Amino acid sequence: MRRAITVAVLILAIAGSVLLPHPEHYAGERLHAALGRALAAFALGRSLDGLISVAQGTEVAIEPAGVGVTLAPGQILDPVNDLVEQFSSLMLVAAASLGVQELLLGIGAWWPLKLATAGLLLLTAMIVLARRRVPLPLAWIAAVLLLTRFAVPMAALASEAGWRLLLAGPFASANAELEKSSEILSAQIETKPPPADAEDSGLFAAAGRWWDSTRENLDPRAKLAAIDAAAERIVSRLIELIAVFALESLIFPLLFLTAMARSLGPLTRWLSTAGQPVAES
């Protein structure tokens, strides 16, 4: 009898927790923050795509005496362009996955579902107190409703824990490095207009500007090397961000939801036999 009372109290406590708003509140905040990160990464990817498109049309002219050749350093970014487009698509998939999780979270927090789950658990506790076996269909429905209520909030909170422990640091460093590389790339492809007071700045200043321009035109290797280095950093950081968001928005939630789905059978059996005395060997 003591075991039946203990199990009934435990089931009643679970039924009470079903009615609390805290699980979906905390999980909703975490999902909203993750969705914001995914959308920000998507926007960054689209910005990079536009920047690379501009870079692919830039040219560096080598004309020290009015005659020379023209190089297109933007061609270095051709392999990067495809990766940036795939990155944007994957960020959109990650955002959609998080949006689906928010939708499922709202379904689990629907008050008729919460009342039905709490009512079935209350009925189960009463049967357990009577020391009778809970009908298997009733136990199965109660288990399904219980998992529907708590699966997404628990998966979201577990994913948030994984994010803070494993992914927050790599995300911050990769995002900062990606923004820095974008700024470097933008500076390299930017065309510098002549100063407004070029005619009035004096002979020596004009000669200095002519020499700087001629030196850059004679040796564009520094600009090409800077663009190539920025492209390499962009590729490595994009791959790192893809891994981070794949883990946060897809792999972690799927692992936790799969584990909870696998717990349906054991949970059903436990609810069905909770009121039965333990057989002595």
Collect all residues with Cβ–Cβ distance below 8 Å to 218 and sequence separation of at least 6: 62, 64
Contacts 24+ apart (CB under 8 A), 183-188: 184/226, 184/229, 184/230, 185/51, 185/52, 185/55, 185/227, 185/230, 185/231, 185/234, 186/51, 188/55, 188/73, 188/223, 188/226, 188/227, 188/230
Output the pLDDT for position 277. Answer: 61
Average pLDDT, integer, range 127-151: 88
Where along the chain do its domains lie?
2-191+202-273
Closest by CA position to 152, among listed 113, 193, 112: 113
Average pLDDT, integer, range 15-36: 89
CA angle 242, 248, 251 (to 5 degrees): 90
- Report how far residue 46's alpha carbon sits from residue 43's, in angstroms, rounded to the nearest whole number: 5
* pLDDT confidence band for 21 (50 / 70 / 90): confident
Ranking 98-107, 119-128, 179-188, 240-249 by mean pLDDT, the lowest is: 179-188
Average pLDDT, integer, range 46-54: 81
**84 exposure class (CB count in 10 Å sphere: 0-12, 13-18, 19+):** buried
Tokens of 79: 């392999």
Residue 218 and residue 64 in contact, taking contact as beta carbons nearer than 8 Å: yes
* Beta bridge mates, 71: 60
- Given a cut of 60, is residue 203 above it in pLDDT? no
- Identity of the amino acid at 251: I
Residue range 247-263, pLDDT digits in tens = 999 999 999 989 988 99
pTM value? Answer: 0.76
